[in-house]
Amino acid sequence: MTADERFGDYEEMRDGRVEGTRNEVVTGPVSDWATDFSHLEPEWAADPYPIQDELRGRCPVAHTERFGGGWLPTRYEDVAEIAYDTERFSSRSVVMSNFRPPPGAAPIGVTPPISSDPPFHHDARKLLLPAFKKSAVTKLEPATRAFCHALIDSFEGRDVVDAAHDYGQHIPIRVIADMLGFPPEDGPRFREFVETTLEGINLPPDERIARMDKLFAYLHEQIRDHVDHPRDDLTTYLINAELYGRKLDPSHVSGTMALLLIAGIDTTWSAIGASLWHLARTPADRERLVAEPGLLPTAMEEFLRVFAPVTMARLVRDDMTWRGVDMKADDWILLSFPAANRDPAQFDRAGEIAIDREVNRHAAFGLGIHRCLGSHLARMELRVALEVWLERIPSFTLEDPSAVTWAAGQVRGPRTLPVRIG
Amino acid sequence: MKVEIDARRCQGHGRCYDLAPALFGEDDEGYGTVLGDGAVPAGGENEARLAAANCPERAIDVREEA
């Protein structure tokens, strides 16, 4: 089979994404967070931490009938146990929504390897690890730094800028577009794809499918272009990659590309934005980091702990009793690394932000076999973004605290962040 | 003092080679490796303990020797 033929039938590749079961969409105010939680309501988006702290004290595993049924553990210990237990908790879908792919989707899933279970998971992940190890992403640092400077150059003459919209979001979009070999001018479309995948959870099913089709149509277009014009980037690498002695299934290639495109953007953007939000409203920490730039790597880990952007999901494999609750097959688990990171049983002064915290065994990038593939890339982007900002704009404040908005769903960070820089 | 990595636990977070680059490195896939025989030179004890204390997977063992 030639590469051209593999990517010929787009419709055939689509079937694997749309088959599955759908449940009724339930929205509206939460009656009781212990029995009716939803990570898509405005109260959660605005400030989920008091909710998580309260649940950790009284539950500690909350339940909801929304999304067809799911559970929310809030203790570090419970989150870790689920992350390590890939037998009883499947990654067949990692976005808690109103749609479940069929059991037959395991162990590969729609976006390998994040959606994969062992043993396939490890083989699919091995293909990607070398491109995302620390020494590989270090090579991208000079271009990332130059791009951050260019963004700040563009603020010339403005007293107020949006640190999320005008700065944070552009950095990961540019980096991943370069890695995948996509045209940099397509960046604005990536933001739409991210919103579709991660924030459009409660849209009517047909609309959600239509939006996902746009993402995959775009990826397909890029794959075809790379088949015709191979180059030194991750897309060409995936087209040529082999597993078990043969080239990858076309759905594996496009699914992995979807993962790489989506997973690195609003996550890193959120981490950059949340860090700048904290520094804009905490002059003592800002001044200390400007005076002691060597403290930034330590401070950054604290920002990752307290503002961990990413929550994952799992599906319960079989009916079982776990931590005293009766879980049913296909119940969701909302795997909250942010809640784990604020568990006082795991961290001293868990609710405080201590930028010089030396021992910080946080779980912002997950635990176990699904450790964020892009963690080294994310850390590089976050460090460079903050270094350049603090060097160029050592003094800044929130222009209007009430104008700051936060994304709902499984990736949380500021989406509107007006700051006064002049 | 000696450091060891439990390869069954390591997931390649890289905290060890970030925090103690004189003691740890990365392999071709980003998993942590111990440089040399893992013996911690005089003055490196704090780095070794810091790396172990920050490993999210608790994959690092620091053995104090008499």
ipTM for the predicted complex: 0.97
At the topology level, CATH places domain B2-63 in Alpha-Beta Plaits (3.30.70)
Residue B52 parent element (H or E): helix B45-54
**Angle A379-A382-A385 from CA coordinates, rounded to 5°:** 145
pTM: 0.96
The CA-based dihedral angle spanning residues A171, A173, A174, A175, taken in that order and rounded to the nearest 10 degrees: 80
pLDDT at A206 over 90: no
pLDDT for position B51: 98
Between A106 and A201, whose confidence is greater? A106
Q: Return the minimum-mean-pLDDT range out of A5-19, A47-61, A267-281, B44-58.
A: A5-19
Per-residue pLDDT band at A349 (split at 50, 70, 90): very high
pLDDT for position A252: 96
B contacts of A297 (beta carbons < 8 Å): 18
pLDDT for position A202: 84
Asked if B56's CB is within 8 angstroms of A132's CB, the reply is no
pLDDT at A39 over 70: yes
pLDDT for position A194: 86
pLDDT for position A10: 63
Q: Which two tokens stand for residue A138?
A: 């270090």
Q: Please write the tens of the pLDDT for every residue from A176-190.
A: 999 999 999 999 899
Domain ranges of chain A: 51-181+269-420
Residue B55 to chain A, least CA–CA distance (Å) = 6
CATH H-level, domain A51-181+269-420: superfamily:
Cytochrome P450 (1.10.630.10)
Asked if A129's CB is within 8 angstroms of B12's CB, the reply is yes
Q: Would you say A321 and B14 are in contact if contact means Cβ atoms under 8 Å apart?
A: no
Per-residue pLDDT band at A40 (split at 50, 70, 90): very high
Asked if B17's CB is within 8 angstroms of A134's CB, the reply is yes
Residues of A with CB under 8 A from a CB of B: 126, 129-130, 132-135, 297, 301, 358-363, 365, 367-369, 371, 375-376, 379
CA–CA distance, A398 with A396 (Å, rounded to integer):
7
A contacts of B18 (beta carbons < 8 Å): 134, 297, 379
Asked if A376's CB is within 8 angstroms of B29's CB, the reply is no
- Among B15, B19, B31, B50, the strongest candidate for a mutation testing the A interface, having the largest count of A CBs within 10 A, is B15
Asked if A126's CB is within 8 angstroms of B54's CB, the reply is no
> Amino acid identity, residue A408?
A
B contacts of A362 (beta carbons < 8 Å): 56
Per-residue pLDDT band at A1 (split at 50, 70, 90): very low
pLDDT at A315 over 50: yes
pLDDT at A3 over 70: no
> What percent of chain A lies above the pLDDT cut of 70?
97
User: Between A130, A361, A369, which is nearest B53 by CB?
Assistant: A361
User: Between B29, B50, B57, which is nearest A129 by CB?
Assistant: B29
Between A379 and A14, whose confidence is greater? A379
Q: Which residue of B has its CA nearest to A126?
A: B29
What's the mean pLDDT in A256-282? 96
Per-residue pLDDT band at A138 (split at 50, 70, 90): very high
Between A370 and A14, whose confidence is greater? A370
Asked if A371's CB is within 8 angstroms of B12's CB, the reply is yes
Residue contacts between A and B (CB atoms, under 8 Å)? 53
User: Between A135, A362, A367, which is nearest B57 by CB?
Assistant: A367
Sequence-separated (6 or more) residues with CB below 8 Å from residue A268? A168, A171, A172, A374, A377, A378, A381, A382
Between A159 and A196, whose confidence is greater? A159
pLDDT at A248 over 70: yes
Asked if A358's CB is within 8 angstroms of B30's CB, the reply is no
Asked if B9 is an interface residue toward chain A (Cβ–Cβ < 8 A), one would say: no
pLDDT at A201 over 50: yes
Asked if B12 is an interface residue toward chain A (Cβ–Cβ < 8 A), one would say: yes
pLDDT at A2 over 70: no
Three-state SS across chain A?
A: CCHHHHCCCHHHHHHHHHCCEECCCCCCCCCCCCCCCCCCCHHHHHCCHHHHHHHHHHCCEEEECHHHCEEEECCHHHHHHHHHCCCCEECCCCCCCCEECCHHHCCCCCCCCCCCCCCHHHHHHHHHHHHHCHHHHHCCHHHHHHHHHHHHHCCCCCCEEEHHHHHHCHHHHHHHHHHHCCCHHHHHHHHHHHHHHHHCCCCCHHHHHHHHHHHHHHHHHHHHHHHHCCCCCHHHHHHHCEECCEECCHHHHHHHHHHHHHHCHHHHHHHHHHHHHHHHHCHHHHHHHHHCHHHHHHHHHHHHHHCCCEEEEEEECCCEEECCEEECCCCEEEEEHHHHCCCCCCCCCCCCCCCCCCCCCCCCCCCHHHCCCCHHHHHHHHHHHHHHHHHHCCCCEECCHHHCEECCCCECCEEECEEECC
User: Between B14, B53, B54, which is nearest A134 by CB?
Assistant: B14
pLDDT at A4 over 70: no
The CA-based dihedral angle spanning residues B19, A176, B11, B16, taken in that order and rounded to the nearest 10 degrees: -10
pLDDT at B45 over 70: yes
What's the mean pLDDT in A390-414? 96
Q: Return the minimum-mean-pLDDT range out of A56-60, A91-95, A178-182, A402-406.
A: A56-60
User: Between B12, B26, B56, which is nearest A367 by CB?
Assistant: B56
What's the mean pLDDT in A122-150? 98
Asked if A365's CB is within 8 angstroms of B26's CB, the reply is no
pLDDT at A389 over 90: yes
